[in-house]
Amino acid sequence: DTAVSQTPKYLVTQMGNDKSIKCEQNLGHDTMYWYKQDSKKFLKIMFSYNNKELIINETVPNRFSPKSPDKAHLNLHINSLELGDSAVYFCASSQAVRNEKLFFGSGTQLSVL
Amino acid sequence: GQQLNQSPQSMFIQEGEDVSMNCTSSSIFNTWLWYKQDPGEGPVLLIALYKAGELTSNGRLTAQFGITRKDSFLNISASIPSDVGIYFCAGQVKKTSYDKVIFGPGTSLSVIP
């Protein structure tokens, strides 16, 4: 069983559309994250949720809205997609809010045309 | 803000050679981490370091936490083709109520059989 799974793997869409990426972890972890990896492979944290509560919001445009229905799921909804949103988005989880060991999903490659 | 620098940016080596890569920061970190990202996958934790001067091994990998707490290195001995990937150093930033893991820009490793 995949520990952190995210869907879809690939997402190709037009500018201006709204899209969602889903993430689920079966590790029993309390904390989940969204990271963005740009074309130069730089990984930057976007959001973190601990037990459904938002704890990190790294000056991400408000077109990005994370939602955590329960501690095993963290979804990312993006409104009015722009060309610059094209990137690989990684979901990750950790056992607790003060735990450095992150478990990543395999990523969602978003291409905005 | 805190930033990590990695060198070299990329490496091309022959199978069987040893590899060394570095990570530096202008800030002190309490925890240093090394992750590896295979093509098309998310990063996977290789080694975590918790004390200045600490030297830790994981198979053919050895990493050290610099004495100044501002740097770390990763060595890979007797490289094999499956060592190909991007190696990220990361540091754990402690905030009041949570921790945050920030990543360096990565070192891309190519192994020539």
Give the list of residues 6+ apart from residue B82 with CB closer than 8 angstroms, or none: none
Residues of chain B with pLDDT under 50: none
What pLDDT is attached to residue B37? 98
Q: Does B15 touch chain A (CB under 8 A)?
A: no
Is cis: bond before B8, omega within 30 of 0? yes
Tokens of A104: 């990543």
Chain A residues near residue B42 by CB distance under 8 angstroms: 4, 90, 92, 104-107
Is residue A89 very low, low, confident or very high in pLDDT (cuts 50, 70, 90)? Answer: very high
pLDDT for residue A4 is more than 80: yes
Q: How far apart are CA A88 and CA A26, in angstroms?
A: 22
What pLDDT is attached to residue A1? 67
Single-letter code of the amino acid located at A87:
A
What pLDDT is attached to residue B1? 66
Considering only CB atoms, A100 lies closest to which of B33, B42, B44, namely: B33
Tell the residue number behind the tokens 């709204």, with chain if given: A18
What pLDDT is attached to residue A58? 87
Tens-place pLDDT, residues A92-103:
999 987 888 999
What pLDDT is attached to residue A38? 95
Averaged pLDDT for residues A79-93: 97
Q: Which of A49, A100, A104 to mutate to test the interface with B (most CBs of B within 10 A)?
A: A100
